[in-house]
Amino acid sequence: MITGASSGIGATYADRLARRGHDLVLVARDRQRMDDLAARLASDTDARIEVLRADLTSRADLAVIEARLRDDDRITTLVNNAGIAAAGAFVGADLDSLEKLIALNAVAVMRLTGAVLPGFVAREHGTVIIIGSVTALMPERFHGTYSATKAFVLNFTQPLHAEVGARGIRVQAVLPGATRTGIWERSPGSTRASSSRFRRSRTLVSGMPSPPPAARCGRGSHATTRPIATARSSTRAREPRAVACP
């Protein structure tokens, strides 16, 4: 199951997984885009594609997807990709829109992961991939509410990996840099000025030191450099590595 599968990173996961022989359940709000993607993948691969239209900020829609994850033991991988970005200043922002961002980026991630994991643990097999962001490590460069939700993703994933990793469950947080997808056009506070700031931020992100195979754990003078523990998923080729700091 892939959430936010209609475009961007989610659609790319769908494409790669289908080409590796995985059947898919696509979840997103945009039914037409998902139908188009499903038709293309069905034509290009042997994968069976199911489309579920859901708004994961709606408790009713979220409950439907949770139930599917709890009840369908054919689901072996969950890609938590659905998300909203934010732009502009916090002061004067639309607080209802930011609450919706938190609901999608953090609450839905927690609930869907919590719905699928008991079955994975019982079967001693399964993979959870959560799309975070490099902003978890540099919050001052982006909107604070957005980067806070991505810090939640990272801090949620690390102890979860420690909790279930020994039981045959793979848990991975993916921290992309700024990626040009439709998420920015749909962001609360998105403007031409914020798009310019986004372009500048891309330069800052791409210039960040990233000395593999180590990651920075912690901040400030107490930060340490430790090896990366990678929770490998079925998408082995060219996938980002998960940061799991002990």
> Catalytic site residues?
146
Q: How far is CA 148 from CA 12, 66, 138, 220, in A?
A: 25, 24, 10, 18
Q: Report the C-alpha gap between 14 and 39 in whole angstroms.
A: 12
Q: Report the C-alpha gap between 16 and 107 in whole angstroms.
A: 27
- Would you say how long the chain is, in residues? 246
What value, to the nearest 5°, has the Cα angle with vertex 140 and ends 104 and 229?
A: 70
DSSP secondary structure letter of residue 134 = G
Strand locations in the chain (E): 2-3, 24-28, 49-53, 77-80, 126-131, 169-174, 214-217, 224-227
Q: Report the C-alpha gap between 130 and 62 in whole angstroms.
A: 17
Using DSSP bridges, classify how beta strands 49-53 and 2-3 pair: parallel, antiparallel or unpaired.
unpaired
Please give the backbone phi and psi of residue 47, each rounded to the nearest 5 degrees, phi first.
Answer: -70, 145
Using DSSP bridges, classify how beta strands 2-3 and 169-174 pair: parallel, antiparallel or unpaired.
unpaired
Q: Report the C-alpha gap between 240 and 81 in whole angstroms.
A: 14
Q: Residue 72 in 3-state DSSP?
A: coil
